[in-house]
Amino acid sequence: QVRLVESGGGLVQAGGSLRLSCATSGRTFSGYKMGWFRQAPGKAREFVSGITWSGGITTYAHSVKGRFTISKDNAKNTVYLQMNSLKPEDTGVYYCAVKAVPTSPYDLWGQGTQVTVSS
CA geometry: angle 73, 79, 80, nearest 5 deg: 105
Q: What percent of the chain has pLDDT over 70?
A: 97
pLDDT confidence bin for 102, thresholds 50/70/90? confident
Interval 36-58: pLDDT, tens: 999 999 999 999 999 998 888 99
What's the CA gap between 109 and 43, in Å, rounded?
Answer: 18
**CB-based burial label for 40 (10 Å; 0-12, 13-18, 19+):** middle
Quick one: average pLDDT of 72-88? Answer: 94
Please check the confidence at residue 21 and state whether its pLDDT lies above 70: yes
